[in-house]
């Protein structure tokens, strides 16, 4: 038995490698043991309170500790916890699909239920390929993606992701996937300014499809609002409309990765709704069940699914825990809670409050280069020089240290690095539960400011 004791944090955290037998997600730091959570706060076993400013990993939308969701999970587990999805369907899966069809902007949508965002993306990639084949376009297999994006940890999802740090160890295992620059106006990859740029970042898709050959391309995948890798970057007006036009011109399937942005996070049910653009597929997770259970879904246009059924007969895809009765019961309860308490509209309203609070509370700091976001999804980019936008040296690990300083003060935020070029660049992503109050927003901003001042 290894007797080495992990370093304790100022709040008394003792759980870190090599403690016990848990293979921790990060072995480089200790963490406290969470005991309970309510609303926007988490509490550890030592009585310390943490404001959940990022909803974990932008997961918790409805808030912690909601009895209705817990009751729905318990009741369904008592009735039937598992039935093989090839042999059976279940009442919660059927009801949840009907409820989702009312809020998802797709014609006659169909839903394939899974457990994680990575699985939802993998399912989208496979469906794009099979649907192209079943539509008579057998050569199409590539899915164009964007750099500085994130789509999951499984190998297919990692191949379309554009985060070098996570891709690098597995590059020999990843298929070659074409990538284009992101719509990142603060650091435009073309050194242009919107709208005079004529949406060069969107036109890059047209150029890339022509370069690799339209007959080889099945689709395009992108986050409607860039997630943790860039920190809530909102694309310029017209971007998604133009992307839709390019996909239509080349018979590509447009896949919206709404794993982070879905279920009200941006103040709309889904972020693509801001631009009135309907994709062909939507990958959903995180807020799907509000963190109460692992649950994801791929939403697809009904005509696309019909083409596969008519062609191959079945979608060549499966999952032991797909269409899970308890998970879909949790998803349905979460959806109904969002509707009952009008939390999507609350996210829009409180997002405006949060945006102003961040500008007022952090805007004068010389190290804050950009504050961006929509709804209750915000990013704060930290820079060494505000005028030139020069990032901090990578070895300073500024976002990591700010996150640690915030945690010591009782604030949990979501750090990010590599936003400039995949390596350099520091940002913090914020996405609290939709039940946050204006007073708690002020608390959040005050704690974050103090943490930044602790480090920079």
Distance CA(61)–CA(269), nearest Å, equals: 12
pLDDT in tens, 204-215: 999 999 999 999
Coil, strand or helix: which one is 303? helix
Residue 141 scores a pLDDT above 50: yes
Q: Report how far Cα 335 is from the mean position of its chain's Cα atoms.
A: 18
Phi and psi of 301, rounded to 5°? -55, 140
Share of the chain above pLDDT 90, in %: 92
Average model confidence (pLDDT) for the chain?
95
75 contacts: CB under 8 Å, gap ≥ 6: 329
Name the least confident of 215-219, 301-305, 314-318, 356-360.
314-318
- Determine the pLDDT at residue 17: 85
Which residues are 429's β-sheet partners?
379, 414
pLDDT over 90 at 9, yes or no: no
Q: What is the pLDDT of residue 28?
A: 75
CA distance 42 to 10: 17
Q: Using N-to-C axis directions, what is the helix angle for 117-134 and 302-311, rounded to 10°?
A: 60
Query: pLDDT-based confidence at 101, cuts 50/70/90?
Result: very high
Average pLDDT over residues 401-426: 96
| Range 27-39 average pLDDT | 90
pTM, 2 dp: 0.95
At 56-78, the pLDDT tens digits run 999 999 999 999 999 999 999 99
Secondary structure class of 78 (helix, strand, coil)? helix
Instruction: Flag whether pLDDT at 150 surpasses 80.
Output: yes
pLDDT of residue 62: 98
For residue 123, pLDDT beyond 60: yes
For residue 221, report the phi and psi dihedrals to the nearest 5 degrees: -125, 140
Q: What percent of the chain has pLDDT over 70?
A: 97
Is the pLDDT reported for residue 29 higher than 80? no
Count of beta carbons in the 10 Å neighbourhood of residue 261: 30
At residue 13, the pLDDT reads: 55
What are the structure tokens assigned to 145, written together? 């993606």
Answer for the pair 297, 100: CB distance below 8 angstroms, yes or no: yes
* pLDDT (tens digit per residue) in 191-200: 999 999 999 9
Q: Which two tokens stand for residue 348?
A: 């829009």
The secondary element (H helix, E strand) that includes residue 374 is strand 368-374
The Cα 384–Cα 353 span in angstroms is: 27
Question: What token pair was written down for 20?
Answer: 């016990």
């Amino acid at each position: 038995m290894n007797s080495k004791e992990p370093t304790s944090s100022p709040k008394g955290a003792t759980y870190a490698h090599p403690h016990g037998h848990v293979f921790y997600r990060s072995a480089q730091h200790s963490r406290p043991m969470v005991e309970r959570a309510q609303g926007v706060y988490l509490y550890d076993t030592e009585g310390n309170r943490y404001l959940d400013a990022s909803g974990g990993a932008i997961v918790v939308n409805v808030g912690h500790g909601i009895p209705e969701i817990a009751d729905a999970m318990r009741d369904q587990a008592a009735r039937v916890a598992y039935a093989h999805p090839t042999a059976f369907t279940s009442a919660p899966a059927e009801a949840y699909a009907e409820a989702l069809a009312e809020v998802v902007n797709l014609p006659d949508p169909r839903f394939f239920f899974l457990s994680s965002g990575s699985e939802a993306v993998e399912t989208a990639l496979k469906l794009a390929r099979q649907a192209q084949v079943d539509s008579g376009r057998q050569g199409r297999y590539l899915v164009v993606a964007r750099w500085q994006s994130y789509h999951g940890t499984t190998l297919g999802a990692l191949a379309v992701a554009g985060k070098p740090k996570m891709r690098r160890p597995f590059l020999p295992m990843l298929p070659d996937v074409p990538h284009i620059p992101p719509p990142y106006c603060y650091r435009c990859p073309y050194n242009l300014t919107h709208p005079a740029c004529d949406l060069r970042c969107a036109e890059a898709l047209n150029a890339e499809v022509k370069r690799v050959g339209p007959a080889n391309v099945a689709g395009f995948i992108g986050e409607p609002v860039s997630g943790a890798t860039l920190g809530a970057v909102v694309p310029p007006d017209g971007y998604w409309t133009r992307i839709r036009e390019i996909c239509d011109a080349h018979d590509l399937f447009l896949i919206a990765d709404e794993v982070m942005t879905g279920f009200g996070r941006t103040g709309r049910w889904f972020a693509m709704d801001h631009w009135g653009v309907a994709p062909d597929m939507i990958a959903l997770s995180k807020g799907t069940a509000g963190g109460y259970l692992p649950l994801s879904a791929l939403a697809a246009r009904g005509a696309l699914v019909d083409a596969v059924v008519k062609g191959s007969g079945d979608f060549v895809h499966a999952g032991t825990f797909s269409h899970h009765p308890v998970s879909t019961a949790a998803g349905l309860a979460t959806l109904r809670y969002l509707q009952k308490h009008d939390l999507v509209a609350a996210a829009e309203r409180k997002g405006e409050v949060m945006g102003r609070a961040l500008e007022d509370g952090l805007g004068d700091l010389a190290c804050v280069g950009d504050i961006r976001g929509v709804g209750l999804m915000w990013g704060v980019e930290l820079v060494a020089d505000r005028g030139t936008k020069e990032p901090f040296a990578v070895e300073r690990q500024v976002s990591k240290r700010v996150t640690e300083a915030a945690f010591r003060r009782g604030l949990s935020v979501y750090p990010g690095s590599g936003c400039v070029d995949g390596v350099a660049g520091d940002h913090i992503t914020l996405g609290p539960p939709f039940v946050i109050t204006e007073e708690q927003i002020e608390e959040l901003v005050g704690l974050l400011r103090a943490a930044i001042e602790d480090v920079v």
